[in-house]
Amino acid sequence: MKLGHHIYILPSFSLPTYSCIRSFPPSPINLNLSFPVRKRATIRSMSDSIVVPQRRSLYPPIEPYNNGILKVSDTHTLYWEQSGNPDGHPVVFLHGGPGGGTSPNNRRFFDPEFYRIVLFDQRGAGKSTPHACLEENTTWDLVNDIEKLREHLKIPEWQVFGGSWGSTLALTYSQSHPDKVTGLVLRGIFLIRKKEIDWFYEGGAAAIYPDAWEEFRDLIPENERGSLVDAYHKRLNSDDLETQYAAARAWTKWEMMTAHLLPNDGNIQKAEDDKFSLAFARIENHYFVNKAFFTSDSYLLENIDKIRHIKTTIVQGRYDVVCPMMSAWDLHKAWPEADLKIVGDAGHSANEPGIAAELVVANEKMKALVG
């Protein structure tokens, strides 16, 4: 049902199975035949009459056709990979956290016959090095890294896809380089304003998850609970590695326990992986303490005019506790030209069925807009 201007309230559903959709094993042969090289994409209006594609399911798993390491500073190197069609329309996937890293499942939101799918691990995350490093690790460093990767891969422009912190970075990059962006697909909007940090890390979300909150809160002595973000910052940067690990596990578990509408044990178990948790918690906390290195609390909303012309879909879970819907709504109010899809039976995670389906649909719609 469509309400008002570009707002869609989406009902509950089960993902259908499409036996008629052809899948194929990736190889250098079949990945190079389907599409000519695209020198410049032309995006038609999102308000044009476009038949919404029927596909709502993730694409089959695929492997990268190449990957590499890009040195972006004297300190940092980034892991990157490409999958799908080498001659297809480029799309870059920006992962969450910051510090979360990429995973093979991230490739499955995109049609591998149409898209040239670029994934990379941001500074200190995943396979990038040094692991969990906070030195030279700011939002503006990451924006510059995206440009360095684009130039390294000889991509003139690309679609940008990001969720949670990935939506923050996608907005920041697009506002810095609007001429390099053919379209945006955003999920779980995070604008890193004080009220968003306070909601999740200073007690707001405790009203919904009091049991999980107590585990997160109780690592910190009562006399340091005036700012849990600052108290965790102290421990995540301790000289004692075990103190860092303990804080990282608690920080990560709090987010993993709240990321799905229905508890996801596999997601929660990620908090027990000390290597993952350390990067996830240290880098997230570093960015939050530094207010994402923005010059104002509403920096991204204040700069919407720079990207107002870019065709965009926003997918937001109604019951997202990590990045509550108020942020997506504020973005929609500032940017009514973007399509807002509200998934009525979902929380935060991109892997929840309703959100995954709408992300696939958004990418399918972008295909129809690229001429």
Residues 16-36 have pLDDT tens digits of 443 333 333 443 333 333 333
For every residue of 77-90, DSSP letters joined together read EEEEEEEE-TTSEE
Encode pLDDT of 169-183 as tens digits.
Answer: 999 999 999 999 999
Which of 320, 330, 332, 339 is catalytic? The answer is: 320
Other C-beta atoms closer than 10 Å to the C-beta of 248 total 28
pLDDT top residue among 16 and 81:
81
% of the chain residues with pLDDT over 70: 85
Average pLDDT over residues 45-73: 82
Confidence category of residue 51, pLDDT binned at 50, 70, 90: low
Confidence category of residue 267, pLDDT binned at 50, 70, 90: very high
Encode pLDDT of 239-256 as tens digits.
Answer: 999 999 999 999 999 999
348 is catalytic: yes
Q: Residue 59 above 60 pLDDT?
A: yes
177 is catalytic: no
Query: Residue 191: what pLDDT?
Result: 98
320 is catalytic: yes
* Superfamily of structural domain 66-195+292-370: Alpha/Beta hydrolase fold, catalytic domain (3.40.50.1820)
Q: Residue 92 above 60 pLDDT?
A: yes
Give me the chain's average pLDDT, please: 90
Model confidence pTM above 0.75: yes
Confidence category of residue 54, pLDDT binned at 50, 70, 90: confident
Which of 89, 95, 233, 348 is catalytic? The answer is: 348
Chain position carrying tokens 């590695």: 241
pLDDT top residue among 1 and 259:
259
Chain position carrying tokens 């909303």: 301
Does an H or E element contain 317, and which?
strand 312-317
Which of 83, 164, 327, 349 is catalytic? The answer is: 164
The C-alpha R_g of the chain, in whole angstroms, comes to 20
Structural contact between residues 85 and 38, judged by C-beta atoms closer than 8 angstroms: no
Confidence category of residue 39, pLDDT binned at 50, 70, 90: very low
Hey, what amino acid is at 369? L
Which bin fits 51, alpha (ψ -120 to 50), beta or left (φ > 0)?
beta
Question: Nearest 5 degrees, angle CA 369-CA 318-CA 94?
Answer: 50
Could you give the dihedral angle defined by the CA atoms of residues 54, 57, 62 and 65, in that order, rounded to the nearest 10 degrees? 40
Helix and strand numbers, DSSP H then E, in the chain? 11, 10
- Domain ranges across the chain: 66-195+292-370, 201-291
